[in-house]
Structure 1
């Protein structure tokens, strides 16, 4: 006789930040009986192989830059040993493990039952969970949320699976690469290339076009690309790796197409950051007729509804278009309020969402790029733009000074701000505050009416003419 299935109001498949935020909100604030399913460490990509360990590594890279720049301010900093990568990695892993424990405690506190295993749909109200110990548990749920996240991909080239790593593998490196090939012009590739270069690795960065961060405003693309070249990174434009072979002694021989010309190079590590896919293959979504797009993302509307009644999706698994942890958390909490809190119109507005790239220097962006604004509003847009040298660099030689550049994109006679793109020291912290203003519909006059704080870089945003 088959065991009696567990029953709940809300089944959340995926233990990442978005899914758990929705599960906890539904249980603690709205009284729903909630079960969550996760086969790996709690916290998802962000906590384990994404934002959190990335930012810790970026902090280390920033300190390395500060040590180099200290001389200009009169300090004599002598490094008695190279950067302790193994010690740093061990300490970073311990921090992540503590966060895993905090996530588990929060689920207990909010009375969310956790099943450690993988879920597969039997029908739209029931899943079978294959537990990590091999046993099986069936769960019946009135409503099901799919929040399984995604995973990084490798290209279909010879040797990639055997000899290359993805961003996940970056956080498993126990030794710092001496010479590394990084492929991928998106923010993950840009961040990892920048961190490794700042920490002293010889970085060869391969991109298919002339600039990277190509979904960002042209100002950002051009300035960051120029800055990486100025810093001495080996940037290979219009290039791609076509084959990877074992060269012995821990080295990898890569064959590279450099703008139509084939060359070879030896490196000790090859890192691909070329994209991610949703982790939906093992869910059995075909059994319930769930619709996906051409990239296997689950199709949702603005309420996170799928085409199947009482099945919802959010985060990297769906096609909402913003693969950012705070977006998944916000969408998950809104969904819990709508499903169980009587907030019938609650949904996340996927507009004017601020984002930051932890490059060197930092990049912040919210709203439309200039090409997007021109396409949407035509001749009604007005651009305010400035580039300058932050005071921090005033004590340094010209060749050591980093860039700062800001762009404000306005629309209509009232000059409503529809895009803001900034690059330079502290951009992440600056954008959080200005993001609130833009979300509230700020105009250029609102910015002008704010008295500047002097001397800081951000004052340029309220004094720009």
Structure 2
């Protein structure tokens, strides 16, 4: 990519500071381009927000692996007795949720910082703003203080990633959390209902159950759709053996907050049409994700839409 000739502010502007956007920006600057990265996190319905690095660093792969490791350590303590370790009282072994989430967030913040420093060292301009198209070469960024910053680029890459999809049921947006929230949840999740049996839902259900929080999963169709189903069955069988409750062919109907602060969830079995309900401390939605392209004003850049999900 040849350097700009003065027509534009940048050779390349990347909208999105996640794994894909950052990799693209670094490769471009290595080729001699002048590059800017725009990144902004809109808070989740529960108010959760995070720093530079995208889903994987902040609310995906990294915190999930850390919580999974915490769960493995807890299980190892229980299993160690069979190998001769003398544990004073297995009944007293429990997770300190606050300490766990603090450790996870401290690690994430260190990665956020290293990422910022890396951009600075590579002379990539970082703009903490929500970008949208004015035309095919112009971006308007809304900054944290509400002011607007306009910039132009010869090439613009969209790498905005996605966010969790909420089912259209009463109480979902008001009372439920998603993977955006669980890794920084300010209180122990307690008895948890996970809605959805993709890899995100089952990963969350797995580590929550192993951390000592009773966990139930609603499965609409097949677990781990798109994966080898023999392996998927092995995963769900193992989860049930470890105490996770799985309700197959079930979809949620509503989530209601009780005076106690707990959540009453109702669901229906799509085959038998039987309805059921139970009370939980936390309801975690994991029913898929959608791309964050709606507010980019792509039509201003000449992008044609064939259809939407």
Q: Fold conserved (TM > 0.5)?
A: yes
Give the gaps of 5 or more residues in structure 1: 297-465
Q: 1:176 to 1:294 in 2, by over 3 A?
A: farther
1:328 alignment partner in structure 2: none
Is 1:5–1:139's contact at 8 Å kept on the other side of the alignment?
no
Superposed displacement of residue 76, structure 1: 2.5
Task: Find the aligned partners of 2:267 and 2:104 in 1 and give their Cα distance.
Answer: 34
Is 1:18–1:147's contact at 8 Å kept on the other side of the alignment?
yes
2:3 alignment partner in structure 1: none
2:160 to 143, 148, 151: 148
Q: 1:65 to 1:81 in 2, by over 3 A?
A: closer
Higher normalized contact order (CA 8 Å, seq sep 6+, divided by chain length): 2
Q: 1:100 to 1:273 in 2, by over 3 A?
A: same
1:66 to 67, 76, 79: 76
**3-state SS of paired residue (2:63):** helix
Task: Find the aligned partners of 1:294 and 1:55 in 2 and give their Cα distance.
Answer: 36
- Per-residue Cα deviation, 1:20-52 (whole angstroms, up to 9, x for no partner): 11111211x211010111123210111111111
CA RMSD of aligned residues (A): 1.7
Q: 1:51 to 1:293 in 2, by over 3 A?
A: farther
The correspondence of residues 96-135 of structure 1 with structure 2, limited to 5 A, is 96-135=108-147
Task: Find the aligned partners of 1:128 and 1:113 in 2 and give their Cα distance.
Answer: 15
Superposed displacement of residue 189, structure 1: 0.3
Is 1:277–1:295's contact at 8 Å kept on the other side of the alignment?
no
TM-score normalised by length of structure 1: 0.60
Superposed displacement of residue 132, structure 1: 1.5
2:54 to 44, 62, 65: 44
Matched residue count: 291
Give the gaps of 5 or more residues in structure 2: 1-5, 42-50
Is 1:64–1:199's contact at 8 Å kept on the other side of the alignment?
yes
1:273 to 265, 282, 286: 286
TM-score normalised by length of structure 2: 0.90
Q: Is 1:234 the equivalent of 2:245?
A: yes
Q: 1:264 to 1:281 in 2, by over 3 A?
A: same
**3-state SS of paired residue (1:282):** helix
2:66 alignment partner in structure 1: 56
2:254 to 217, 222, 243: 243
Task: Find the aligned partners of 1:222 and 1:37 in 2 and give their Cα distance.
Answer: 42
Superposed displacement of residue 295, structure 1: 4.5
2:178 to 155, 166, 181: 166
Is 2:133–2:300's contact at 8 Å kept on the other side of the alignment?
yes
